Chains A and B, each alone.
Chain A
Amino acid sequence: MSGYVEGPRQCEAVQDELAELALGAVSGRRRAELLEHTGSCPRCLAELERLSIVADTLLQLAPRAEPPLGFEMRLAQRLQASAGTHRADRSRRLAALCAAAVVTLVFGFGLGALVVHRSGDSQVGSATANLTAAKLSSHGQVLGEVMISAGKPAWMFMTVDAGAWSGKVTCEVTLADGKVDVTGVFDLAGGYGAWGALLTAPAGQVRSARLVTAEGTVLASAQLPV
Chain B
Amino acid sequence: MRRFWGRDGNGTSDEALLAGIAIGDDRAGVVFVRRYQQRLFGLALAILGDAGGAEDVAQEAFIRIFRHAVMYDPRRGPVPSWALTITRNLAIDALRARRATPTDPSDRVFLELMSTERRPEDVALSTDALVPIRAALADLPLDQRRAVVLAAVYGRTGAEIAEAEGIPLGTAKGRLRLGMARLRQATVMEATS
Q: Show the binding face of A for B, using Cβ within 8 Å.
A: 16-17, 19-20, 22-27, 50-68, 71-72, 74-75, 78-79, 82, 86, 89-90, 93-94, 96-98, 105-114, 117, 119, 121, 123-125, 127-128, 130-131, 133, 145, 147, 149, 151, 153, 155, 157, 159, 161-162, 189, 192, 194-198
Contact = CB atoms under 8 A, between A and B. Distances in A.
B43 A59 contact: yes
A195 B55 contact: no
A110 B33 contact: yes
Contacts of A133: 11
B13 A159 contact: yes
B148 to A, nearest CB: 7
A110 B16 contact: no
A64 B122 contact: yes
A110 B130 contact: no
A61 B133 contact: yes
B77 A53 contact: yes
B181 interface: yes
Interface residues of B, number: 89
A57 B187 contact: yes
Given A68-B51, A74-B59, A75-B62, A127 B27 contact: yes
24 contacts: A19-B180, A23-B148, A25-B157, A54-B184, A56-B81, A57-B81, A57-B129, A59-B81, A62-B42, A62-B84, A64-B42, A64-B121, A64-B125, A71-B41, A78-B60, A78-B63, A79-B62, A79-B63, A90-B70, A105-B24, A147-B13, A151-B20, A151-B25, A157-B19
Q: Which 3 A-B pairs have the closest CB atoms?
A: A196-B19, A109-B29, A106-B24
A93 B71 CA distance: 8
Given A63-B112, A64-B125, A128-B31, A24 B15 contact: no
Given A61-B113, A65-B38, A110 B63 contact: no
Interface string B63-87: 1001100110011010011001100
B179 to A, nearest CB: 8
A24 B155 CA distance: 7
B39 A64 contact: yes
Contacts of B51: 68
A25 B58 contact: no
Interface string B156-192: 1110010000000000010011011101100110000
Given A127-B30, A157-B16, A67 B38 contact: yes
A147 B188 contact: no
Contacts of B74: 159, 194
Contacts of A155: 19-20, 23, 25
Given A67-B55, A67-B58, A127-B27, A58 B137 contact: yes
Contacts of B112: 63
B181 to A, nearest CB: 7
A60 B81 contact: yes
Most buried by A among B33, B46, B74, B176: B33
A122 to B, nearest CB: 11
Contacts of B98: none
